[in-house]
Amino acid sequence: MGIFGRAPSSGPGGTSRQDRRRAGVRGRSRTTARRDTEKRAQIIIIGAVILVALAVIGIGVYGYYQTNVRPEQQAVLKVGDRTFRMNYVEKRLRYEIQNAAPGDPVLLNTNTALQETFNQLGAEEIDRIGAPQINISVSDDEVDARIRQNLGLSDSADQATFAEAYRKLVKDSGFSPNEYREFITSQLLEDKIRQNLRSTIPTATEQVHVRDIRVATQDDAQKVLDRLAAGEDFAAIATDVSLDTSTKSNGGDAGWIPRGSVPTNVENAVFALEVGQRTQPISNNNTFFIFEVLEKSPSMEITSAQQTLIENQSYNSWQAQISNQVDVNLYYASDATIIAQLTAIATAAGSGVKATAEPVQP
């Protein structure tokens, strides 16, 4: 017996309580360690599954971004500080085609549709840049008035009627409300700029009466000169080969041309001639013209049609002047993906638009 009447805790060949306790601890430690190892393995497996799932989702999201989101944000045209992205260009391309009048160049083929749309976007931005230089601006009230005019609503129409009609108009246009207002603003700016230029046109000016022959290449122009030198009639040659459909059937007669109504290179050439003289081939719009002067007048009254010609030429010259002040970057011409996508849109937007394989030229 022990001091407290208990048997000794150990004896020869026996196991002490402390030894048993230690053995139990070691046993539990092994079990716990095994369980911890199994849990860690499970966590690793679950983590790996999650990582794989995230990777798959990430690849899908990246693919969607690359296929759908990124192309929509692709910079296609930049004029000065303004960048036009694919999503807006798509809207404008559809709008230009769907609202084109019969005979409009935008309906000719997809290549022309793209070119005309980009030209229009560039011209509008040039107007925005140049208008402040001649103290021209457009107010919100003027935009509202033009929208009411487009809707056929009078100023007395109530706000609810205007809002409903305007909502439908914007929806049909394919633009957002802000984009539509910006589009109307650009129209008003051009109108004001043209009005400003029109006010400077005189009532009478020097004019020449000419006839012309238009051909596609320099070689074709030389062939015309050779035929003229051989004594062939100018009118007969014009009827035979001229590409100028407005004068071809009339022997090339283009009527009276006032100063300021034609490009500078043409004006300088024809006004320097005497009656009966002809120009050398003049390059204009990727074709070649030969002019012959039939009559001259130092001063002749400008008709309404001639006033429009002078206004158009003045506007083109003004835009060219402003264009020299800004950088214009075209990104679409060298990107086959962009061209293919825009070509598909142009084809879908109008049944009268023929698909073309030619690349768009800046």
What average pLDDT does the segment 75-93 reach?
Answer: 87
Q: 125 falls in which pLDDT band (50, 70, 90)?
A: very high
Could you name the CATH architecture of 75-199+325-349? Orthogonal Bundle (1.10)
* Separation in Å, CA 54 to CA 50, 58, 60, 122: 6, 6, 10, 44
What average pLDDT does the segment 43-52 reach?
Answer: 65
The helix or strand, by DSSP H or E, that contains position 296, with its residue range, turns out to be strand 287-301
List pLDDT tens digits, range 160-170: 888 899 999 99
User: What is the sign of the dihedral through the CA atoms of 274, 278, 280 and 286?
Assistant: positive
Instruction: DSSP for 178-235, please give it.
Output: HHHHHHHHHHHHHHHHHHHHHTT--SEEEEEEEEEEEESSHHHHHHHHHHHHTT--HH
Note the CATH number of domain 205-301.
Answer: 3.10.50.40
Q: 105 falls in which pLDDT band (50, 70, 90)?
A: confident
Nearest-angstrom CA–CA distance, 102 and 47: 64
Nearest-angstrom CA–CA distance, 317 and 336: 32
For residues 187 and 95, the answer to whether their CB atoms sit within 8 Å is no
Position 12 scores a pLDDT of 47
Neighbours of 52 (CB within 10 A): 10
| pLDDT at residue 272 tops 80 | yes
Provide the edge-to-edge strand list for the sheet that holds 253-258: 253-258, 204-215, 287-301, 282-284
Query: What does DSSP assign to residue 248?
Result: G
| pLDDT at residue 92 tops 60 | yes
Position 54 scores a pLDDT of 60
List pLDDT tens digits, range 236-257: 999 999 999 999 999 999 999 9
Position 25 scores a pLDDT of 45
Q: Indicate the range of 160-164, 211-215, 318-322 predicted with least confidence.
A: 160-164
Nearest to 89 by CA among 68, 117, 124: 117
Give the percent of the chain with pLDDT over 90. 49
Nearest to 128 by CA among 329, 330, 325: 325
List pLDDT tens digits, range 14-41: 545 455 444 454 555 556 666 666 676 6
The domain segmentation of the chain, as residue ranges, is 35-61, 75-199+325-349, 205-301
Q: Indicate the range of 1-10, 159-168, 207-216, 338-347 predicted with least confidence.
A: 1-10
Position 1 scores a pLDDT of 42
| pLDDT at residue 10 tops 70 | no
